[in-house]
Amino acid sequence: MKLLQNVINHKINTITRAELLKYAIQYNISLTAKQADSIVSKVKGKNINIFDDQSRSKLVKELAREIGPTKAKEINQLFMQLIR
């Protein structure tokens, strides 16, 4: 299980705008390129562990300031889908 967590966290921490937009379409989340850029800038290279509730919550709060609370909540739901 730890290996899978590491793979998913690595993917989140190295995600590109194009990949994020692809996942957004796959999970029915409307996301603009500007919003995707904001999200990528918050996660890329930051070593965020989305399996850790505190870490994920802190990220979602930061995203809420950048892209709005509604969109941040949708991104959190995307993260929840990825960790199941």
**pLDDT tens string 14-55:** 999 999 999 999 999 999 999 999 999 999 888 999 999 999
Report angle CA 7, 80, 72 to the nearest 5 degrees. 110
Residue 56's domain comprises 2-83
Q: Please give the model's pTM, rounded to 2 decimal places.
A: 0.86
Q: Domains in the chain: how many in total?
A: 1
Q: What percent of the chain has pLDDT over 90?
A: 85
